[in-house]
Amino acid sequence: MTLTQLLVPTLVNQLGALSQWLAKGEAHAAAHGQDPEALLAVRLAVDMFPLHSQVRIAAFQAREAVHRLRGEETPGETVALRTHAAMKQDDTGTLAEHRATLADTLAFLEGVAPGEFDAAADRPVAHALPMGMVFDMTGFTFVRDWALPQVSFHTGMAYALLRSAGVPLGKQDYVPYLFAYLRPGTMPGG
């Protein structure tokens, strides 16, 4: 498996599932006479980011990984996702805006050429964080130990936030892409 084959489909799967969770959350809230937009402010704890921040950071982390592996500066519009998530936690935006952000990110990821990052696997990657910490990695360790865990963390938090708000999500929602591999005739009750 190549670096591109590992990174891009994994990010597409996770962000695609996240987009579906938002739609399911919106439908659930509306069906129960609740304001769907209120979901964006849900938090698990006072010192944790709310749902809208988790979505923005997941999109940021996915896009930033691509730019970093290309050896590019991360564009300002992408950095703005992270900045907004961290600094404007009371500005939730709308579910439509977040689905659009995810759709744009998915389109960006789907535009990555096959094998585009494969030569970057052994290339040094200096990953600097806004607070001044710098991690020295290779392209491979950056993907394995930073990019994929970061997106997984923030999508997982979004899932937990929606579940805590009563949205009926289950394992089939968390990993819907696995059903492409389901052997016919093995679905329980089906």
**189 pLDDT tier (thresholds 50, 70, 90):** confident
| pLDDT for the residue 127 | 86
Q: Are 36 and 30 in contact (CB under 8 A)?
A: yes
Share the mean pLDDT of the chain.
94
Question: Could you give the dihedral angle defined by the CA atoms of residues 51, 147, 76 and 67, in that order, rounded to the nearest 10 degrees?
Answer: -150
- Percent of the chain exceeding pLDDT 90 equals 85
Residue 6 confidence (pLDDT) above 90: yes
What was the pLDDT predicted at 150?
97
**SS in 3 state form for the chain?**
CCHHHHHHHHHHHHHHHHHHHHHHHHHHHHHCCCCHHHHHHCCCCCCCCCHHHHHHHHHHHHHHHHHHHHCCCCCHHHHHHHHHHHHCCCCCCCHHHHHHHHHHHHHHHHCCCCCCCHHHCCCEEEEECCCCCEEEEEHHHHHHHHHHHHHHHHHHHHHHHHHHCCCCCCHHHHCHHHHHHCCCCCCCCC
How confident is the model over 148-180, as pLDDT tens digits?
Answer: 999 999 999 999 999 999 999 999 999 999 989
Token pair belonging to 94: 């709308």
- Joined together, the tokens standing for residue 22 give 């938002």
Q: Give 39-63 pLDDT, tens digit per residue.
A: 999 999 999 999 999 999 999 999 9
Q: How far is CA 103 from CA 17, 49, 96, 129, 139, in A?
A: 11, 22, 10, 26, 26
CB 139 within 8 A of CB 3: yes
pTM (2 d.p.): 0.94
- pLDDT in the model for residue 190: 59
Instruction: Sketch out the chain's domains with CATH numbers.
Output: 3-181 (1.20.120.450)
Is the pLDDT at 131 greater than 90? The verdict is no
